[in-house]
Structure 1
Amino acid sequence: MTVSDLTAAAPACARGPVRRARARHFAMTAPRHFAVEYAINPWMDTSVPVDVDLALRQWETLRATYIDLGHTVDLVDAVAGLPDMVYAANGGLIVDGHAVLAHFTFPQRAAEADAYAAWMTAAGWHPERTRHHNEGQGDLLVAGSTVLAGHGFRTDRRAHDEIAELTGLPVTSLELVDPRFYHLDTALTVLSDEPATIAYYPPAFTADAVAVLREMFPTAIEVGSADAFVLGLNAVSDGRHVVLPAGATGFADQLRAAGFEPIGVDLSELLKGGGSVKCCTLEVYS
C-alpha cells in the first residue's frame, strides 16, 4: 500500500477540518554507524544488541515516506565513531536563512556539531554557535513565527536568549521535568503553521509550561501516556500528513479526528537510542 492509498483510506466525514500540506525540506543521516555504546538518556541500554541492518531498513522507509509525500530530503554523510548522528534533528536549527549549530551537552556527541557544520557550510549557510548548550531541533521547534524552546535536561535556558538574537524570532521557553522526555521533540509536535497547532504530553512539562501552552494553543491535542511512552510525539507534520511512530495508535486516532492524516512508521530499532521520526529529521524552515 502506498502513502497515497493510506491518505485516501479515511473517509472525508472522519477527517474533521480541512488540513493543507506544504512541501518541506529535510536533512537526514543514515544510521550506518548506529550503536548504543553509552547511555545518556533513559531509553539507552548498552546491554541490548542493535541490528544495524534493520535500523537502516527502517530509516530508509522513513526517508521514502517523505519522498513519496513530495518533500525534499538532503543526505548528510554519516561519520564513523558518531553512533548517534542518525538523530539529525539535534544538529542545529535552520530557519529563515539563519543556521544555528548545536552545542551538545555530552562529550560523546560533541563532534557531531562539526559534521553538521560542514554540511551547512557546503549547502551555503553560515552556521553560528551559541556559548551555552543547545541541542538543535531536539529542543528548538518552530511553530508559526515563534520558536518553542525546551530546557531542563539538554539545552541550557540561557541559550534561548542567544537563539532569539541569532534568528530574530521570539522564543518561548518550556521546562521539561521527566527524564524520559529529555528533549522537547519527544514531548511536543508542531502539527501546522497557520494557524500554529501542536500536540503535546502535559506530564512532561512543569505546570507553568503547561499553562503557557494552553494559553498559546487552546486547540492543542493532549496525548496520553500510552502514546507518549512509545515516543509517539516524536513526529513530523507537513500540515496535513503526520508521520509518527507506528505504535502511537491512540495519537493517530486523535489526529484523524482533528483532520490530519497519520502515517505510522516502525523505527523500533532506532528507539533503542532514544529517538524516532522527528529525531531522525532536521527540517530546514523557510
Structure 2
Amino acid sequence: MITRDTEAFLHFARGLAADAGPACAKAVFLVTPEGFALAEQSASDNAYMDLGVAVDPARALAQHRELQRQLAQAVPAIAFPGDPAAPDGLFPNNVFATAPGRLVLGHMRHPVRQREAERADIRGFFAAMGYAETDLRRQPGIAELTGALIIDRARGLGYAGLSERCDEAGAAAMHAAFGLRATLVFDLAAGEYHTNVVMSVLAGRALVICPSGFADPAVPAAIAALHAPHVVTLTPAQKAAFAGNCIAVSPDRVFVSQAGAAALEAGQRAILARAGFETVAVPLDEIEKAGGSLRCCVAEIY
C-alpha cells in the first residue's frame, strides 16, 4: 500500500514481520569530492547551504577519506572518483540506490545533478555484478531516492517526504522500484528539502526524528509510535547540526557527523546504546557547507 493515511499505514505496518530483507546493506559506495564547490542550483531549495561561505577542497577531500576509512571498519566501502563538473556528486544516495539485484537511478530536480546518473563507471560496476537497472528518469515524477525516501529495509516500509525534491508521482515510482510493502507519503515542513535530514530508521530497530521537519505533527507522532521504544526525538537545533542525517551501515554502529553527534544529549545517546548501537562520529564540517552530511554521502549496496 501507498498512502497519506497515517492510521491506515500504522494498522498495516504493525502486522508486518521484520522479514522483508536484510536490515543493513552488504556494502556501501561513495563519490569523492574532487574540486569541491557549492552548487548554485542546489542552493535555491536547500536552506542548509550558504553560498557566501568559503570552502576548502583539500579539507573536504581529507574528511571524505576519513569517512571512507571509518565506514570500511564496519562494511566494505568503495569510492568512485568525483567530477569537478558535478559539485553535488559527493552525495550519491540521491541519484543511485539499490534493492537486491537492482540498481535504481533517481530523477533529480536540478540539471546540475541530472548529469550524475549518466556515469558509466558506476552503472557499469553494478551491471558487471548482474544488477538490472530501474531508471526513474523515464517517469515524470521527481524522485531523489534515499534523500527523499527513508526505508525500513527489514520491514519493507518507506517514508516519503514531499518537497521540491520529491512529488507524489516520484514517491509512487520509488515505492514500486524498491518493492516496498507500504509507503507513508507526507509533506515536509516549509524549507525542508530532504527527508533524510529530519529522520532516519536505524537497522529497523531505532528511529531518529525531528517533528519540526514535518508539515503535520501527527505524522512524526505516528512514525515514532511504530518504532517505539527506541526513538530519539531531535530539536530543531539538533536537526540543523545534522544529527538526523545518520545511518546504521551495520547492525551495531550508527555513523553521524561530529557536529551531529556533539548536538546529541546524554539521554539520546543512551537510547541508541539501549538499541544496541555504538555511535561513531566523523568530522565533516567542510562537507556540510554543501548542505548535506554523512548519510547523504553514503549509497548503500543491497
TM-score for the superposition, normalised by structure 1: 0.84
From 44, 49, 52, the equivalent of 2:54 is 49
Show CA shifts across 1:101-141 (max 9, x none).
11101112110111254544344322212211111211122
Is the aligned partner of 1:153 residue 2:153? no
1:279 aligns with: 296
Residue 133 in 1 paired to residue 146 in 2? no
Asked if 1:223 is matched to 2:237, the reply is no
Match of 1:264, as an amino acid? A
- 1:179-209 per-residue CA deviation (whole Å, 9 max, x = no partner) reads 2x3111111112122xx42111010012242
Please state how far the C-alpha of 1:217 moved relative to its aligned partner: 1.9
- The C-alpha deviation readout for 1:3-58, integer Å capped at 9, x for no partner, is xxxxxxxxxxxxxxxxxx96741010000132014123122233322111000111
Distance 1:121 1:78, change over 3 A: farther
Task: Please state how far the C-alpha of 1:80 moved relative to its aligned partner.
Answer: 3.3
What residue in structure 1 maps to residue 151 of structure 2? 142
For 1:245-256, list aligned pairs within 5 A.
245-248=257-260, 249-251=262-264, 253=266, 254-256=268-270
Q: Is it true that 1:202 corresponds to 2:211 in the alignment? A: yes
Measured in 1, the distance between the counterparts of 2:224 and 2:94 equals 26
Asked whether the 8 Å contact 1:91–1:101 carries over to 2, the reply is yes
Helix, strand or coil: the match of 1:268?
coil
Partner secondary structure for residue 133 of structure 2: coil
Contact 1:138–1:183 (8 Å) recurs in 2: yes
Count residues in correspondence.
261
Sequence identity percentage: 24
Residue pair 1:227, 1:247 contacting (<8 A) in 2 also: no
Which of 251, 256, 268 aligns to 1:244? It is 256
Mean Cα deviation higher: 27-36 or 145-154? 145-154
Unaligned runs of 5+ in 2: 1-22
Match of 1:4 in 2: none
Q: Note closer, same or farther for the CA distance 1:33–1:121 as it changes in structure 2 (3 Å cut).
A: farther
- Of 234, 240, 243 in structure 2, the residue corresponding to residue 232 of structure 1 is 243
CA contact (8 A) 2:253 2:279 kept: yes
CA distance in 2: counterparts of 1:34 and 1:252, whole angstroms? 32
Shift of 1:96: 2.4
Distance in 1, Cα, partners of 2:106 & 2:265: 31
C-alpha contact (below 8 Å) 1:252/1:262 kept by paired residues: no
Q: Say which of 95, 100, 104 aligns to 2:99.
A: 95
User: 1:40-119, aligned counterparts within 5 Å?
Assistant: 40=44, 41-69=46-74, 71-115=75-119, 116-119=122-125
For residue 127 of structure 1, give the secondary structure of its aligned residue in structure 2: strand
Mapped contact 2:243–2:263 kept (Cα < 8 A): no
CA distance in 1, matches of 2:257, 2:293: 7
Gaps of 5+ in 1: 1-20
Paired letter, 1:156: D
Normalising by structure 2, we get a TM-score of: 0.79
Match of 1:5 in 2: none
In structure 2, the residue matched to 1:187 is 198
Work out whether residues 145 and 174 of structure 2, in 8 Å CA contact, stay in contact via their aligned partners in 1.
Answer: no
SS at match of 1:155: coil
Q: Residues of 1 paired with 2:81 and 2:61: CA distance?
A: 14
State the SS of the aligned residue for 1:111: helix
Over the aligned positions, Cα root-mean-square deviation in angstroms equals 2.1
C-alpha separation between the residues in 2 aligned to 1:76 and 1:127? Answer: 19
- What is the distance in 2 between the residues matched to 1:188 and 1:222? 9
Which residue pairs with 2:27 in the alignment?
A: 25
Secondary structure (helix, strand or coil) at the match of 2:170 reads helix
Cα distance between partner residues in 2 of 1:77 and 1:160: 30
1:197–1:282 distance in 2 versus 1, CA, 3 Å: same
Distance 2:126 2:190 in 1: 32
SS of the residue corresponding to residue 94 of structure 1 reads strand
Runs (4+) off by over 6 Å: none
